[in-house]
Structure 1
């Protein structure tokens, strides 16, 4: 003789299914987003960040600044005028100064300031301009 046991949770799920509470949920009939991928211990953090769009404020400011400096040419290339480029690089240099002095949260950084004239020259060259 086989005995069947339904836990409290199983009963609640069965009743909710019978009431149709799981019908028409987003993603119904679609595969799970991580199906076939290797298990990641931090899956829930990554999903939360993606869902909430919270990636900008998650890494410490000094690490974000390092990434910004790495991508400086790409960021500068989006600017339209030389004065915008000079202003942006000056602002980055000010944040670099604060990071070097320990005035920003995150791991210490020793990145040197960017040469404003060199960044402007690179911006002009990538745009196909010689001089203003």
Structure 2
């Protein structure tokens, strides 16, 4: 703790003496930022400077929801094209599209979103172009649908091959 200022010494000379003694002891050696100019020495005074510095130091960005979503949409396309699989690329774009559609239906306060949803098939095609070595021969999207000829006769199956469902009361036992 520092000593008290003697009553017969002026404040300026007492402070100057304290600084001189601290400099001689080496208290100011190896301080972070030594020799560099102050960050905002010529900027106008801002009452929340400390809060802004803390947020910048923590890497936190505070943006309105629409601007945050614009940034997310801007980053989504390159992230989808760098994805490890087509499924992952589709997931990234699908999640961003869901957020965009939600914001378009119920706009938040602030600036206009001005972003439209991505075409998932177009992004998937671009991903396949960039990663031809990772594209596997995918099974055809058409699935086998059993026909009426496939169903055994008398099994209770309808024309599409599905089993007929009767209400519970219909299956009660007689007697």
Q: Is the 8 A contact 2:66 2:110 kept in 1?
A: yes
- Is the contact made by 1:98 and 1:104 (CA closer than 8 Å) also made in structure 2? no
Deviations 1:12-60 (A, max 9, x none): x7636634543331122x323759xxx65599476444312112xx112
* Residues 42 and 6 of structure 1: CA distance in aligned 2, closer, same or farther (over 3 Å): closer
Secondary structure of the 2:128 match is helix
Aligned pairs for 1:1-132 (under 5 A) are: 6=11, 11=15, 15=18, 18-19=21-22, 21-28=27-34, 30-32=35-37, 44=49, 47-55=53-61, 58-102=62-106, 104=108, 106-128=110-132, 131-132=135-136
* Alignment length (residue pairs): 121
1:87/1:14 CA distance change after superposition, 3 Å: farther
Higher relative contact order (CA 8 A, sep 6+): 1
Instruction: Kindly indicate whether the alpha-carbon contact (under 8 Å) linking 1:96 and 1:111 is maintained by their aligned counterparts in 2.
Output: yes
Richer in helix (by share): 1
TM-score by length of 2: 0.52
Which runs of 5 or more residues in structure 1 are unaligned? none
Query: TM-score under structure 1 normalisation?
Result: 0.65
**Between Structure 1 and Structure 2, whose CA radius of gyration is higher?**
2
Summarize the Cα distance change of 1:21–1:54 in structure 2 as closer, same or farther, 3 Å threshold: farther
Q: Distance in 1 between matches of 2:129 and 2:45?
A: 43
Q: 1:105 Cα shift?
A: 5.6
> What is the CA distance between 1:78 and its match in structure 2?
2.6
Secondary structure of the structure 1 residue equivalent to 2:91 = helix
C-alpha RMSD of the superposition = 3.6
- 122-131 or 73-82: bigger deviation: 122-131
